[in-house]
Amino acid sequence: MPSRTVIPFGPQHPVFPEPLQLTLTVEDEKVVDAVPGLGYVHRGLEKGAELNDYIKNIYLAERVCGICSFMHSWTYCSCIEELLNIEVPPRAEYLRMIFAELSRVHSHLLWLGLYADAFGLESLFMQCWRIRERCLDMQEAGGGGRVILSTCTIGGMRRNLDEDMRRAFIKEVAEIRRDFERLVPVFLNDYSIKKRTVGVGVLSKEDAQSLGAVGPTLRASGVRSDARMLGYGPYKEVDFEPVVEEGGDCYARGVVRVKEVLQALDLITQALERLPEGEIKANFRGRLKGEVFKRMEQPRGEMLYYVKASRNKNLDRFRIRTPTFANIPPLLKMLPGCDLSDVPVITLSIDPCISCNER
């Protein structure tokens, strides 16, 4: 019988951008069991939201995560808009979609870079992040901040996009696409990438569904499910078809994200070309009362917000189910049976965002 060793993997590990601990039980070089250790960046944000008034919570929601911050504020604002029966002007909805897809592009590029770093391709990591920088510059030009934009507000948007900026955005998106298309063949065909990712960390379609996987992790296992199919905001008006892969391994999860970058760039161009004229913010009044569940698709997958209010200004309950929270059980299913050297690649393949996860 081979001897068993327990290896604490993380919380501080060179490949993890954020503190996640995995207690791995290893038999020779094979992982037998994995137990997650959480709570290193728990901030009690849901409790904080009950103490703030509902306007301040927009900024709190944005700070749940640094990468997908815009989508958090969009989801939160749309929850409050539903409770107060506010009709958001179409131009604001399109602007929201543009920034949401822009943050999807930069989040996926960040992940593709870290993923390349995890299997040792430093130059690819640099290339991805170089392209990502252009997205951040666009966000700064259009929203005012590089990562946390604070442009989404209840009833609409805070900042408009003028005609010059709109044209510049269309041009810039085309250039990002041109740059990224040069990297796509590397992710899809490179021998060493395939060697490290094909058949590693396989998650079957049944397991993905029963373990509640979301986002690219679910779609890479062949399940056609994307919260954008619900048709919130302008998604019902643009051409959108979720990216689905059949492999269920790390390679398929990478391919889904590569294709989603191209798709998101396409969605941004569509939205910029169709951008309706008009107001960007609706006025509102009323009392917060009732409860609402709202789902939106983040770069990492489906996110669920629950807001319950019966008092005037404060919320009774504010709950966020972030995509990483749903993707940790599938990760624990993928790890047993793999080599210790594959653990970084498999863990990164679900795109763990621990500050989202622990809130």
State the residues that interact with another protein by CB under 8 A. Answer: 35, 38-39, 42, 44, 46-47, 50, 209-212, 225, 227, 229-230, 293, 295, 302, 304, 306, 308, 316-317, 319, 321, 325-326, 328-330, 358
Taking the complex as a whole, how short is the minimal distance between the CB of residue 264 and another protein, in angstroms? 20
CB nearer another protein, residue 282 or residue 292:
292
CA 189 vs. chain centroid, Å, equals 25
Beta pairing, strands 152-153 & 156-157:
antiparallel
- Cα–Cα distance for residue pair 68/103, rounded to 1 Å: 6
Taking the complex as a whole, how short is the minimal distance between the CB of residue 42 and another protein, in angstroms? 4
Taking the complex as a whole, how short is the minimal distance between the CB of residue 36 and another protein, in angstroms? 8
CB nearer another protein, residue 75 or residue 197:
75
CA 195 vs. chain centroid, Å, equals 27
Question: Under 8 Å CB-to-CB from 164, ≥6 apart: which residues?
Answer: none
- Cα–Cα distance for residue pair 101/98, rounded to 1 Å: 5
Taking the complex as a whole, how short is the minimal distance between the CB of residue 28 and another protein, in angstroms? 24
Taking the complex as a whole, how short is the minimal distance between the CB of residue 321 and another protein, in angstroms? 4
Conformational region of residue 105, where left means phi above 0, alpha means psi within -120 to 50, and beta covers everything else = alpha
User: By the 8 A CB rule, do 15 and 125 touch?
Assistant: no
3-class SS at 70? helix
CB nearer another protein, residue 141 or residue 229:
229
CB nearer another protein, residue 250 or residue 328:
328
CB nearer another protein, residue 127 or residue 357:
357
3-class SS at 243? coil
CA angle 95, 97, 100 (to 5 degrees): 110
CB nearer another protein, residue 5 or residue 310:
310
Taking the complex as a whole, how short is the minimal distance between the CB of residue 73 and another protein, in angstroms? 20
